[in-house]
């Protein structure tokens, strides 16, 4: 049983203790709290022992696997091992039909630093949180995770807890955690906090900030969507007009308008309200949009509308092909590992913060992933490289 599961079970037990507090006397409540605390400690100890044993086992297996891989490489020479991609590499690629991810698994960790992630939604949300978990995992690191922290105070407690546990790098993956970090980071000067999306470090020496230039990929996808749209009308389902979601919207609108299409934008006012996102997407289709796009974890509802109406979809943050294998045209995928590699190097060099990193098409932190199952006109696809080059060299403005 993983430590995460143990902690969640403890959370559920804590809720029951909360109920017990409503039922019984103070003594009974104290007893119940003590029992849950003891059970929690035992469970965490057991999970720790299990984790140690698992680590040993993983080491053994890794050594064996490395040996086997070396033998295999000797046999196959320099044979291409990236067979999930049709044209992998750079900031644009096509994911083979049936594949959903472009994150290769690293054979060994890029750093010995211990890493924890605190994020607002589920680790498999096919959006914001998953993009970070995938990136850290791609670097060969097994992070400690606290996800679905819908309440900022819960996230703050997790961030503080990891710092107290001596974790080297705590990734606070959410703009909303800035206020908590302002308070917590100065108390743990030996811990490096990595915070995003944010464009400044709040003047803290042990905080790195990261942000995606989501307008860049948004612009590229906007041009493709406009060329694909017969109606010249595209529906956008956004969450709240802030952060990378707003950047994506602005870039997408600029790209689509540059190709003569109009984009109707609806911000639902929520990152997670699937029902509202579903109705927003339905309203766009009713209004005549023949292409849909959107951002944040609530888009699972909007994609289902695209699927039901056979309307092509453009995604961002993570590759969203699995939600509609035939209708997702392309996704702008965040490869946080590009900036994390630099951040880990800086930490190992003794710098714990004070810098801002940005994902861009140029540094290949933003990758446009086309879906191999969607038959996109080669003429449309052929122009994408040129558009990316224009965005990278600055000859094309994304409106930012």
Sequence-distant (6+) residues with CB within 8 A of 60 are none
Is 176 a binding residue for another protein by CB under 8 A? The answer is no
Is 44 a binding residue for another protein by CB under 8 A? The answer is no
Show contacts with another protein in window 121-140 (CB under 8 A). 121-126, 130
- Strands of 262-267's sheet, edge to edge? 92-95, 366-371, 328-334, 313-317, 291-294, 233-238, 262-267
Is 244 a binding residue for another protein by CB under 8 A? The answer is no
β-pair type (233-238, 366-371): unpaired
Is 142 a binding residue for another protein by CB under 8 A? The answer is no
Q: How many CB atoms lie within 10 A of CB 239?
A: 26
Binding residue for another protein, selected from 148, 176, 202, 309, defined by CB under 8 A: 148
Site of tokens 């190097």: 345
Q: How far is CA 382 from CA 329, 378, 387, in A?
A: 14, 6, 10
Binding residue for another protein, selected from 137, 176, 202, 270, defined by CB under 8 A: 270
Is 41 a binding residue for another protein by CB under 8 A? The answer is no
Binding residue for another protein, selected from 19, 57, 69, 106, defined by CB under 8 A: 19
Binding residue for another protein, selected from 278, 295, 316, 371, defined by CB under 8 A: 278
Kindly state the smallest distance separating residue 76's Cβ from another protein, in Å.
Answer: 32
Show contacts with another protein in window 202-241 (CB under 8 A). 235, 240-241
Determine the Cα–Cα distance for residues 291 and 288; give it in Å rounded to an integer. 9
Question: Helix/strand/coil (H, E, C) string of 201-221?
Answer: CCCCCCEEEEEECHHHHHHHH
For residue 69, the number of C-alpha atoms closer than 13 Å in the C-beta half-sphere is 10
Kindly state the smallest distance separating residue 91's Cβ from another protein, in Å.
Answer: 25
Binding residue for another protein, selected from 62, 202, 264, 351, defined by CB under 8 A: 264
In the complex, which residues of this chain contact another protein (CB under 8 A)?
A: 5, 8-9, 11-12, 14-16, 18-19, 21-24, 121-126, 130, 148, 150, 235, 240-241, 264-270, 272-276, 278-280, 282-284, 286-287, 297, 300-301, 303-304, 307, 322-324
């Amino acid at each position: 049983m993983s430590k995460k599961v143990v902690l969640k079970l403890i959370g559920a037990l804590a809720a029951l203790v909360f109920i017990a507090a409503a039922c019984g006397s103070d003594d009974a409540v104290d007893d119940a709290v003590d029992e849950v605390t003891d059970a929690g400690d035992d469970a965490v100890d057991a999970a720790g022992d299990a984790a140690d044993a698992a680590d040993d086992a993983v080491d053994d297996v890794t050594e064996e696997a490395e040996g086997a891989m070396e033998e295999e490489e000797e046999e196959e020479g320099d044979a291409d091992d990236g067979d999930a991609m049709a044209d992998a590499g750079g900031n644009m690629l096509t994911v083979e039909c049936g594949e959903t991810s472009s994150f290769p698994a690293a054979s060994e960790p890029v750093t010995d630093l211990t890493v924890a992630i605190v994020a607002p939604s589920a680790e498999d949300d096919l959006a914001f949180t998953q993009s970070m978990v995938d990136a850290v995992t791609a670097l060969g690191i097994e992070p400690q995770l606290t996800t679905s922290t819908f309440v900022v105070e819960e996230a703050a407690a997790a961030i503080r807890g990891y710092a107290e546990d001596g974790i080297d790098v705590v990734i606070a993956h959410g703009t909303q955690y800035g206020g908590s970090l302002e308070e917590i980071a100065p108390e743990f000067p030996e811990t490096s906090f990595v915070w995003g999306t944010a464009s400044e470090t709040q003047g803290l020496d042990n905080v790195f900030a990261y942000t995606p230039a989501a307008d860049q990929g948004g612009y590229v996808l906007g041009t493709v969507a406009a060329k694909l749209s017969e109606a010249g009308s595209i529906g956008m389902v956004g969450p709240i007009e802030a952060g990378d979601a707003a950047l994506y919207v602005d870039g997408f609108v600029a790209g689509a308008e540059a190709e003569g299409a109009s984009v109707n934008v609806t911000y639902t006012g929520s990152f997670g309200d699937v029902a509202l996102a579903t109705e927003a997407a339905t309203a766009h289709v009713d209004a005549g949009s023949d292409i849909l796009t959107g951002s944040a974890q609530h888009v699972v509802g909007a994609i289902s509308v695209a699927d039901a109406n056979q309307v092509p979809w453009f995604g961002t943050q993570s590759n969203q092909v699995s939600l509609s294998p035939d209708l997702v045209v392309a996704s702008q995928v965040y490869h946080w590992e590009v900036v994390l590699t630099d951040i880990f190097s800086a930490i190992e060099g003794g710098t714990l913060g004070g810098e801002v990193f940005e994902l861009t098409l140029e540094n290949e932190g933003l990758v446009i992933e086309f879906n191999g199952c969607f038959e996109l006109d080669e003429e449309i696809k052929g122009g994408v490289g040129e558009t990316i080059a224009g965005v990278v060299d600055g000859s094309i403005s994304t409106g930012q």
